Each structure stands twice: as C-alpha cells, then as structure tokens.
Chains A and B, each alone.
Chain A
Amino acid sequence: MAQDEAGRELGRHERYRGDYPIVVEGLTNAFGDQVVHQDLDLKVRRGEILGVVGGSGTGKSVLMRSIIGLQHPTAGDISVFGRSTIDSDPEVDIGVRNRWGVLFQGGALFSTLTVGENVEVPLKQFYPDIEPELRHEIARYKVVLSGLPEEAVGKYPSELSGGMKKRAGLARALALDPELLFLDEPTAGLDPIGAAAFDQLTLELKETLGLTVFLITHDLDTLHEICDRVAVIADKKVIAVDTVPNLLDLDHEWIQQYFNGPRGRAALTAQALDELRRHMDEPVAAHAVKALDKPPAGKA
C-alpha cells in the first residue's frame, strides 16, 4: 500500500492526504550517450494543476513516462503517493496504479473496442466484482462527464474526431476515479474553441473530483488559464517551478523567450484584458479594452 507523508500506511479505501503525491528526486535518464535528465527534482502539490513546459526534446514526456513507470530511469527515485515506483513489484503496485489516470497524446484508445468498452477496460481489470449493469452505467456517465455526447459511447475510435478521441481518452483515464491525472499535451491539435473547452473541462474536473493534475503542454493559454504552477524543464533539469507571473520575473533566457515571445505576449495580453473586464467598471473597461485591443501604431 502507498504511504502518506508521515510514513503511515495509506488505507485501501482512503484518499491520499499527504502534501506531495509525486516526488521526483535526483532523476537521471539517459539513452545511450544522450542524457535527457540529470539530477532532476520535482514535487507536485496535492490538488494543483502543474503545467510542465520545455522545448521539444527536453524530455517532458520521458519525465511523465518515468513517473508512471513506463520508462525505467537510469538513476534517482520517484515516489507516487509516498511510495517508490522504482523497482516495485507490479502486483503490489496496484495500490498506486488504480489511483492515477493517464491521457496519452493521441488518446491511445483501443481501436477494436467502442468508447464505452474502452472506459470499462480498467474497471474490469481492477474491480471484476462490479456487475455489468453498474459498469455500463459508470462507463456512460464518465463519457458524458468528459464532455462527449451520449451516443459517442457506442462508437469506435476511428469514427471520432481528434478532439473527441482526447475526450474519450480522458473518460478512460477517469474510469477508476483517480486522484492523480496525467495529461500529455491535451490541447495539441485541437481548434482554439475545443482547446479552451478542454481547459475548462480539466479545471472543472479538478475542482469537483479533487484531482491533482500533471499536465504537459505547449499551449500558452492553457498555462495562463488553468495551471496553478508551471515547471520549466531546461538544461536537463527542472529549472523553476512557480506561478506564471513569478516565472516572468526570472532572468533565464529560455523562459524569457518562451513567455515573452510573440505568442507568449499575445497570451499575456489576452489574460490582461480578461482581468480588466473582470475588475473595472463597465464603461471604463470597455474604453480600456478598446485601447488595448488596438495594435501599437506603426506595427500593424
């Protein structure tokens, strides 16, 4: 069984109440000569949405795969719910693995099963004593909870659009009512409306289900809108973990380029406009928004 911070055994039917569901210490990952991570440390707080950013090839996905046990690290220790996942016995692991859900980049749905059957797979695997009647009900409401239309439950993944596949993957990730949710670039490849809706869904689910979310993303809007903290991976390490405004103050070349590049600025402006609308009197705000929305003179 997993343990909480104090080292107490975590009961089988008890939610994790420690402060840090994920603790990564001194993680080193190397593929041959190519070192991806060197002495990487990261702590994820319970109940937060932690965004993980980094340039392409900096090992964001490798970090996630290490945490969920798909990638055996070269060195270092990873604890999930206070329990080391390195060298652990898959049989004993069950106390940890049924407490997390993973959404892979492409959804990774089983292509020969319908969406509903996909959601039922983890339920059947971990809780065979649940009667089919209840299992079907669970699958149905999880699909609807993930923002899919009801009739999607009987469809095959090949009949779904990219955005719907992600939602179906999310439904499967939520099948066991996990406490920890891993999302690998959930908004990549979605249209802006779909991406914003997915962000809102993530936020709502986190609030209602009390999730801790580990979210890999390139989407600056996602970072601004829903992430409580952002971990920046560069130089084979996590160089900073903080809120977006605090990260902006840091003097690091990559961070500045990332958040203050043209796209970063656009996301920031959008955020600022939102804030203005929220906090100012209507007429004043409208005026200010108008002024801000105009592109700087000479640059248009």
Chain B
Amino acid sequence: MGGFAEYDLSEDGDGGNVLALSGPYLVSTVGAIDQDLRALDGPIARIDLADVTEIDTVGAWIACSLAREHEAEISGASERAERLMGALKGTGSEEQIAAPRLPVWERVPTVMGEKIYAARRGIYGVVGFLGALLLSMGSLIRHPRRFRWLALVRQLELVGVSALPIIGLMSFLIGVVIAQQGAVQLAQFGAETLTVNLVGRITLRELGVLMTAIMVAGRSGSAFAAQIGTMRLTEEVDAMQTIGISPMEALVIPRVMAAVLMMPLLGFYAAGVAIVGGAVVGQFMLGIPFWTFLTRIQDVVPIYDLWVGLLKAPVFGLIVALAGCYHGMQVKGNSEEVGRRTTMAVVTGIFAVIVIDAFFAVFFTKIGWG
C-alpha cells in the first residue's frame, strides 16, 4: 500500500456538492494537498470518507475543519475516523504559538530602552555585589573559623597551578615575538641591543599582567560563571542558603581570593617566561648571549616597573573573578542563560581590565614611575 491523499469534488444527486476524500490521510501525506483543500470553493454539502484507507488525528482534523468551514456533513467515516473526530471536538483554538513579537519600529526602541535599563541595573547589581562581598569578608574576619580553606586551596590550584603551562607557553611566544619584531625595527637605528630594554620593560610593566588577566578571564572567569550559573539552575545555591551556608562565603569568596592571590604570581611568572623567550631570540638571532641578556635586564629595567605590574595584578584578578561570580549568580531560567552569562562574564571582565589598565598607565606615569 502507500499512495497519496486525494480528493474529488462532484455533484450529488440531491443538488449538493460531495467532496470525496481518498487514500491515506496521515501527517505524512496531507502536507501535499492541505493548501488545495483550503482553497476549495463551496458550497459543499457532504464530505465522504468512505475511500480513506488510513487516517490519523491530522487527517481527522482536516476533515473536521473542512466540515466546519463549509457546514458540511461527514459520511462514510470508519469507526476509527469517528473516534478520532470525536476526540478532536472542541480542541481548536486561536492562540498564538510564537511568543508575541512587536513590529520592527516598535521593537528596536523597546530593545534599546531595555538595554539601557539593563545597563543601569547591571551597574547597581555589580556595586551591590561588591558591597555584599565586602560585608561577608568583614563577617569572615570576625568569624575566621567559617573560612573555607579547602575551597580556597582547590581554587588556587584551578586558577593558578593548572594555568601554568598555557600561560607559560603564551608568554614565551609573546617574548619571542616582541624580541624578534623589536629587533627588526631597532636595527634600523643600529640599536638592536635596546631589544633587552624593550622586552624587559614591556613585559614586566604591561604585557605580562595584561595577557595573564585575559587568559585568566577566559579560563577561570568563564568557569566561575558557568559553575555558579549551573548551580543556580539546579537550585544548589538555594539549597546552600536553606542549610545556612552563605553562597558568598562558600562560592564567591574562595574564587575571588584565589584570583586575587594568584594573579600577581601568574603575572610575574608570565613576565619572567616572556623575558626568557626574548633571551632565546637574543641568543640565536641577535648575537646577544643568553645570560648576558638576562643580566642586562637588571640594569635596564627600573625596579618600579616590577611594582607597577605587581600592583595591577591583584586588581585585575579581582575584576575578572567578580565578573565571573556576579554573572554566575545572575543566572535564572534556562540553560541558554548560562551560556549568555558566561560570555558576558568573559567580555565584561576583559573589557574592564583593559579600561582600568589605561587608568593605571596614566596614574603611574603621573607619580613619576614612567
């Protein structure tokens, strides 16, 4: 068997038109003729189902709605068809399936307005979150026994130790590129030896910490948002609260502290590895011996460059961790939200780090650490 759903419109003896449906009327077959049937002109007095071989609810639905539209009666229905049509009585509705959607000229301003309000709420939210964090820090200082050492150590490992290989590799390559590209440009002035100054100062002062912050935002900031967000979806955060554990203390503080503590170490490590990368280029391409390169660093890089880098690092760590935890805590509703919030955590984290870095650059130059 098989075949197609077909129909035939003919004159009845009594003067009315008869619509005879034949073949299988199933969800798999009606797609082809549904539009034709809708376009039929009345009047139709009777719909004959005697030649319908197979029928399901979709076929029955079509027969019913045709009958309703043309006020026709149905004849020749099999027992199954009768049963299905009986079940479908009163199931029609006019409800919109898609969530209501405004026309473009209303939607664009609406969305823009919502974004502006959301931005305002976001700023309030972040400030509030920072305040809540400081409050729990304060209460932790008064009750140090509640502090979660294990969670902190675990986060120190995740944020710091396990990031060492990738940050090392990245920094080494950055050192190589800066030294190599810098040497090409400086050679035009016959000043290849200044490559040491370039690599040493730029990595210790700026790039070591900045690139590390970006990497930590990508690795850990996103992980914070996704973990905490998923815990919110599965109501783990609510469960904690009912048991009397503050999510701030259990989830946020260990993560923020881990990022704040680890960022200076990672930043210094990154700068060190980048200098080694530069020294390797010096050895093989510029004719500066490896150890000479490293000892020259001591002479040409002022010590405040190191302080600039190390002072910025914990601030960057705080920003990245705050962005991750804040967006994680904001998750509600569905799984899509986790993804959206994770993206926002990384983007806002990196953006804020770069903005603050610009302020730092001006600040440190003004105080004479240029």
Q: Are A116 and B93 in contact (CB under 8 A)?
A: no
What number of A residues sit within 8 Å (CB to CB) of B?
A: 44
Using known A-B contacts A11-B2, A13-B1, A177-B58, determine if residue A154 contacts B86 with beta carbons closer than 8 Å.
Answer: no
In-complex Cβ contact of B61 among A14, A15, A131, A141 (8 A):
A141
Q: How far is the CB of A200 from chain B (nearest CB, A)?
A: 13
What number of B residues sit within 8 Å (CB to CB) of A?
A: 42
B53: A residues at CB distance < 8 A: 13
In-complex Cβ contact of A127 among B3, B27, B98 (8 A):
B27
B37 and chain A: residue at smallest CB distance? A134
C-alpha spacing A127/B333, complex, angstroms: 31
Q: Are B61 and A137 in contact (CB under 8 A)?
A: yes
In-complex Cβ contact of B57 among A156, A177, A204 (8 A):
A177
B56: A residues at CB distance < 8 A: 177, 209
- Does residue A69 face the partner (Cβ distance < 8 Å to B)? no
Q: Are A154 and B97 in contact (CB under 8 A)?
A: yes
Q: Are A114 and B98 in contact (CB under 8 A)?
A: yes
Contact digits for A147-171, partner B, Cβ 8 Å, 1 yes 0 no: 0001101101110000000000000
Using known A-B contacts A144-B93, A210-B80, determine if residue A114 contacts B99 with beta carbons closer than 8 Å.
Answer: yes
Q: Are B336 and A111 in contact (CB under 8 A)?
A: yes
Q: Are A151 and B27 in contact (CB under 8 A)?
A: no
Q: How far is the CB of A6 from chain B (nearest CB, A)?
A: 14
Q: Are B88 and A141 in contact (CB under 8 A)?
A: yes
Instruction: State which residues 94-147 of A face B: CB under 8 Å.
Output: 98, 111-112, 114, 116-117, 120, 123, 126-127, 129-131, 133-134, 136-142, 144-145
Q: Are B35 and A131 in contact (CB under 8 A)?
A: yes
Contact digits for B34-70, partner A, Cβ 8 Å, 1 yes 0 no: 1100100000000000000110111001100100000
Instruction: State which residues 83-102 of B face A: CB under 8 Å.
Output: 83-84, 86-88, 90-93, 95-100
Q: Are A177 and B26 in contact (CB under 8 A)?
A: yes
Other than the given A13-B24, A13-B53, A204-B87, 5 more pairs (CB < 8 A) read A111-B333, A114-B97, A130-B34, A208-B87, A209-B57
Chain A residues with CB under 8 Å of chain B are 11-15, 98, 111-112, 114, 116-117, 120, 123, 126-127, 129-131, 133-134, 136-142, 144-145, 150-151, 153-154, 156-158, 174, 176-177, 204, 207-210
Chain B residues with CB under 8 Å of chain A are 1-3, 24, 26-32, 34-35, 38, 53-54, 56-58, 61-62, 65, 80, 83-84, 86-88, 90-93, 95-100, 333-336
